[in-house]
Amino acid sequence: MRGPVREQTERIRAVLALGGVPWGDLDDGLQQVRLKLLTEEARGTGSIRDRDAWTAVVASRVAVDWHRARTREADLRARLAARWERHRGTEHAQEDLPLALSVASCLESLSRPQRQVITLRYYMDLSVAEIASLLEIPAGTVKSRLHAAAAVLRDRLTEEGADRRG
């Protein structure tokens, strides 16, 4: 790397680290700052007067966003654990085991956002509005993720069923 670019990279990493971003996530944070810089420069508005100051502010915002996401994720895990405890003693028939394993396998293949909404809707029995509030996303986004995830699950489970029969 050239001198000024390397200095700017180290400065951004330092701001992220001071903001509490773990060492392993610094490169991701650095990429986010660079992407925002490129996006802002592509607009051509000339709003960046001091590039170093601008990147430091953006890096501190990325660190705050990182903390908010971790807090939201921890809160979601705690809520799921509390709901799971209520359903813990449910017994299932032995013949349901292959289907349960197939569903679990298919769930793992979904994207993280799709898996979240499917789990919250069908396993935790939350409404679309509750999921939207919990994940801090619009209800329409929850509905579209549910629809897309259900379609993927339906297709994969149909394929697995055909494979077992055929």
Give residue-wise pLDDT tens across range 101-122.
777 788 888 888 898 898 888 8
Question: Sorting pLDDT into bands at 50, 70 and 90, what band is 143?
Answer: very high
- CA proximity to 12, closest of 59, 54, 57: 59
Assess whether pLDDT exceeds 90 at residue 141.
Answer: yes
pLDDT at 98 over 50: yes
Question: Is it the case that residue 135 has pLDDT exceeding 60?
Answer: yes
**Higher-pLDDT residue of 100, 108:** 108
pLDDT band at 1 (very low <50, low <70, confident <90, very high): very low
